[in-house]
Structure 1
Amino acid sequence: MVNAIINDAKERMEKAGEALQRELQNIRAGRANVSILNRVEADYYGVMTPINQMAAIQIPEARVLLITPYDKSSLDAIEHAIYASDLGLTPSNDGSAIRLVIPQLTEERRKELAKEVKGQAENAKVAVRNIRRDAMDTLKKQQKASDITEDELRHLEEQVQKATDVATKNVDAIAKVKEEELLTI
């Protein structure tokens, strides 16, 4: 029972890091990245379908995404979905494929994005600390119910704290990698 509490806390802390990584993939770094289209959906025969399921997405150049639909009739729907999305990119339709040119970021915009990365990393750390608090509360309830001794409680609290430290370092590492990517010209 007690090990289940700690394992659950560790698992949830890892998921906080994974969620941060997914969120950071959506931040454009001035380079073409297929993941920026993950949340864009187009109307395909009346069903909203993710673009990455409707088309092959390639990176022919460092700042260009090439979207080639499997069904050529969906080309206009994909183009309209990109226009309607919050990407801020203008698609170029050549009749058989769509090209998305990722504009070069200014120094000011790079710094803004780096601040956004720090904010999202801090949110992930808050989530980790909340998970830690929940685990500690559960352990204290176990001790009050006389399921574990006070010495066991201290030992288990140390384990939870170690897991928290590991998760926090992981979040910092993820954020650092993304910041370096953003600030590299």
Structure 2
Amino acid sequence: MASAMASIPALKDLQVQVKTRMDKTIEDFRANLLSTRTGRASVHMLDQIKIDYYGTDTQISQVAQVTTPEAQLIVVQPWEISLVGAIEKAIRTSGQGFNPMHDGRIIRVPIPPMTEERRKEAVKHLAGVLEGHKTSMRNIRRDGNEAVKKAAKDKLISADDEKRANEEIQQLTDAQIKVLEEMFKAKEKDVMTV
């Protein structure tokens, strides 16, 4: 797709910036989806849970090996045995309804089947996360449009170029929001499937 913004030197960097920021928003949403609980175990279910590791909030996957040897079980094996208690506590208090157990070296996290209420709660939470990411997309669009407006005001681009650039930013925003919505629908189906 030949872009009017790419052919205008004053807007070339802007197009890359807007697309990069929108792509980062999509990747952040994807990470949120991966960590959302479904009916079966996934190593990503613990991605949003952090522990205090020498004064730094750190993901469990960065201080332990996380595996799913069974469909209903996550196993966490910390690289430092001293972290077992902290990891267990973080998982237990994460609000995801997990009840971890440990033998002093390995933490086992059984994944109970999700109730209908818990599934609906997860979808509702995801819908809120989706709205937050859509708002981020719109804020990126606004920033892009303001940069285009400034370029037009500074006489770096013509009024026609400004109109085309704003249209392109809107098309990109619409396409990226559609991607977010499709990701949400797929995850919603996954969560609601018993």
Pair 1:131-2:149 in alignment: no
- What pairs with 1:1-185 in structure 2 (closer than 5 Å)? 1-42=10-51, 46=54, 50-185=59-194
Letter in 1 for 2:76: I
Q: Distance in 1 between matches of 2:51 and 2:128?
A: 30
47-56 vs 107-116, greater mean Cα deviation: 47-56
Q: Give the CA deviation at 1:85.
A: 3.6
Cα contact 1:41–1:51 (8 A) shared by 2: yes
- Distance change >3 Å, CA 76–CA 126, structure 1 → 2: closer
Name the SS of the counterpart of 1:31 in structure 2: coil
Q: Distance in 2 between matches of 1:50 and 1:170?
A: 27
Tell me the matched-pair count. 184
Q: Deviations over 1:59-90 (max 9, x none)?
A: 11111011223444543443334334433311
Letter in 2 for 1:110: R
Q: CA RMSD in A?
A: 2.1
Identity of aligned residues (%): 37
Q: TM-score of the superposition, structure 1-length normalised?
A: 0.86
Letter in 1 for 2:12: N
Cα contact 1:6–1:159 (8 A) shared by 2: no
- Distance change >3 Å, CA 184–CA 94, structure 1 → 2: same
Q: Distance in 2 between matches of 1:87 and 1:108?
A: 13
Q: Give the CA deviation at 1:119.
A: 1.9
Letter in 2 for 1:115: K
Letter in 2 for 1:2: L
Q: Distance in 1 between matches of 2:108 and 2:143?
A: 48
Q: Deviations over 1:18-70 (max 9, x none)?
A: 111122223211221212223434566x5555432333221111110112234
- Distance change >3 Å, CA 74–CA 170, structure 1 → 2: same
- Which segments of 5 or more consecutive residues in structure 2 lack a partner in the other structure? 1-9
Q: Distance in 2 between matches of 1:108 and 1:43?
A: 31
Q: Distance in 1 between matches of 2:155 and 2:191?
A: 52
Q: Give the CA deviation at 1:142.
A: 1.2
Name the SS of the counterpart of 1:99 in structure 2: strand
- Which segments of 5 or more consecutive residues in structure 1 lack a partner in the other structure? none
